[in-house]
Structure 1
Amino acid sequence: MELTDNTKGFKDEFSIIRLDGNMGYNHQPQRTAVNRIYIYQNGIGSVTIDKTSLHLEKYQVLLIAKGQIFLFSEDSSLAGYEITFTDAFWEKAPESASNCKSVLFNLNADNQGLAAEKNDLEELFSISSMLNREFQTENYINKTDALAAYLKIIMIKTANINFSLQERYNNSDRKIYTHFLELVSQNYQKTREVSAYAGFLNITHKQLSGICHKQGGNPPKKIIAGMIINEAKRMLYFSASPVKEIASVLNFSSTEQFSHFFKKQTSLSPQTYRNLGQF
């Protein structure tokens, strides 16, 4: 099956659109080529992101990172805003906001669905409305900077929307854990060795294991394997690439090594998984 990228409403590197009901997406799993933020006052139905299902309710912020697979249920409906942006566009935002993106868009399910207080959501709505008006204006020389500044404010407000998230973000172990997730999301195709990530973070293998257990409930080896398996599933489902090629892209020395790894994690061989035709 060929990859379908849904870039509804996406123009160049950034877009914002108002949502007033039905999502209008094709009801097939889609891999997003951009980062997505949904800010909504009312939600109905559910969304599945990399096989994690989230219910859509009132006063929520939904985050989908570039590269993830998402599928809205047929009855899904949102009243709010959809903001999409590329990593290249985010580079235009002030550097001081970069940590917020690391916390929120790290391919981990921790913060994908955030419940917001009504007042916080209304504040985000107000900022989104101003951003939308700015996006609709005629182009001018510093328009990109203005859009990036609004996006920075939204990201900071989103990172602080939940007090527990703010507490974890300020905790030193949480910062290490967040940095680890960011490193894995950037490098899992290069290395699967826990010791390599621990070395980069200047801590021991044992310290990293303890932090991951405390902050996320899983050992680092399982987190790394999870990201590799999710990417393998995406490639098997959305592309016609031979299993041998997928194994090479994911830095396995042979098809047999990749097949053994995949079956250990999923109880299925890569080819069997592909033949099932289900993400």
Structure 2
Amino acid sequence: MPDIISVKDFYEDASLLIPERIKKEIGHFNVFKTEELFATKPRTMPYNRRAYYKISLIIGKNRAEYADKVIHIENNALLFATPQIPYNWEPLDDNQTGTFCIFSEDFFAGSQSGIKLQDLPVFQPGGNPIFFLNEEQIDEVKLIFKKMFRELASNYAYKYDLLRNYVIELIHTGQKLQPLSALHTETSSSKRVSSLFIELLERQFPLEPPHQKLNFRSAKDYADQLSIHVNYLNKQLKEVTGKTTTELILERIVKEAKILLKHTDWNISEIAYSLGFEEPAHFNHLFKKHTTLSPRAFRV
């Protein structure tokens, strides 16, 4: 059984690999080799909502959990992880290599790129965060990471500008692997309203401490925040998604409930309260209606 490494331990282990002169930049950008960081034995990165973005070249057999998705990686993949969506990856063999970089949103703050990470397709909620690579694509990604290592160790005064460019290159490499439909956004009012609603909905998550509670639960709550009539919001969402506002809210609540049930030690009453249910029985009824399982049965 692989050992679990905590986020705290992850940074303590990683810091041993960081030159003293750049330790001050940890939390903004860093890059690691998987086999060096986890040299002693295979470890599982725990399911957690981290404070940084991560792009990983995964080489080896792995099982990845991303929000409520489970993806099996047989050989090679590129993973894009965002702080808004928790993930976990578990190595399934001892032959693990690869590279990953981590960076915070403020790594791009004040840069000339104008990049807003949360707006990029590879970091969108509900998207596909993992892309399988052929040998040619692996070589291209390895070269980008190689340039990151070289630049990070240099004394060049503008090295972090270059590193931002390398991160952007990795992002575009992933986005080119997405279907074209995922890369082109519509400009209709329905699409704009839908995007604003989804952004507002996703901002309610993740729920960290058990006493934290959803700010908005009803369709009217969201319509009021967007300064539009609830019927107009419902019509626009129905046109774009085929679902009503309430259906989308409840689907996202159930998705978060699955995450909390599987990957926290909160009791069911705490989970129900944090998701806006005053009575656990109401939460149990909704969850079973959407999943056919009770929360307790799903957690087992």
Query: TM-score, normalised to structure 1's length?
Result: 0.71
Partner residue in 2 for 1:150 = 166
Larger Rg computed on CA atoms: 2
How many percent identity over aligned positions? 20
Contact 1:102 1:179 (C-alpha < 8 Å) held by counterparts: no
Which of 183, 186, 191 matches 1:172?
Answer: 186
Closer, same or farther in 2 for the Cα pair 1:228/1:145, shift >3 Å?
Answer: farther
CA pair 251-90 structure 1, distance change in 2 beyond 3 A: farther
Q: Which amino acid aligns with 2:140?
A: E
Could you tell me which of 84, 96, 100 is aligned with 1:82?
100
The residue identity in structure 1 corresponding to 2:272 is A
Describe the shift of the 1:89–1:25 C-alpha distance in structure 2 as closer, same or farther (beyond 3 A): farther
Q: State the 1:186 CA deviation.
A: 0.9
How large is the Cα RMSD of the aligned pairs?
4.0
Measure, in 2, the Cα distance between the counterparts of 1:220 and 1:80. 41
Aligned pair in 2 of structure 1 residues 94, 45: CA closer, same or farther (>3 Å)?
same
What residue in structure 2 maps to residue 210 of structure 1?
239
Tell me, yes or no, if the aligned pair for 2:234 and 2:245 is still in contact at 8 Å: no
Name the SS of the counterpart of 1:190 in structure 2: coil
Which structure 2 residues correspond to residues 7-26 of structure 1 after superposition, within 5 A?
7=10, 9=14, 11-20=26-35, 25-26=42-43
Give yes or no for contact 2:105–2:117 (8 Å, CA) kept in 1. no
Distance in 2 (CA, whole Å) between partners of 1:187 and 1:20 is 36
**Alignment match, 1:69:** 87
Tell me which of 186, 192, 195 is aligned to 2:203.
186
Aligned-residue offset at 1:134: 2.1
8 Å CA contact retained: 2:121, 2:182: no
Name the CA distance, whole Å, in 1 between partners of 2:187 and 2:201. 16
Q: CA deviation at 1:161?
A: 3.2
Distance 1:12 1:21, change over 3 A: closer
CA contact (8 A) 1:194 1:220 kept: yes
Change (3 A) 1:115 1:244: same
Deviations 1:68-122 (A, max 9, x none): 13132422755432122233435465563216754222342x3212234654543
Aligned length: 265
Give structure 2 stretches of 5+ with no counterpart. 16-25, 206-213
Query: After the TM superposition, which residues 212-251 of structure 1 pair with which residues of structure 2 at under 5 Å, given as runs?
Result: 212-213=241-242, 221-251=246-276
Per the alignment, do residues 233 and 171 of structure 1 end up closer, same or farther by CA in structure 2, a change over 3 Å counting? Answer: closer
Residues 257 and 145 of structure 1: CA distance in aligned 2, closer, same or farther (over 3 Å): farther
SS at match of 1:111: coil
Task: Quote the Cα distance in structure 2 between the aligned partners of 1:137 and 1:50.
Answer: 37
Contact 1:252 1:258 in 2 (8 A): yes
Report if aligned partners of 1:47, 1:53 keep a CA contact under 8 Å in 2: yes
Native 8 Å contact 1:173 1:211 kept in 2 = no
Q: In the alignment, residue 39 of structure 1 is paired with which amino acid?
A: L
- Tell me which of 122, 126, 130 is aligned to 2:139: 122
Aligned to 1:262: 287
Larger RCO: 1 or 2 (CA < 8 Å, sep 6+): 1
What's the secondary structure of 1:187's corresponding residue?
A: coil
Matched position secondary structure for 1:84: strand
TM-score if structure 2 supplies the norm length? 0.67
Q: How many Å apart are 1:31 and its aligned residue?
A: 1.5
Structure 1: any 5+ residue segments left out of the alignment?
none
Q: CA deviation at 1:194?
A: 4.6
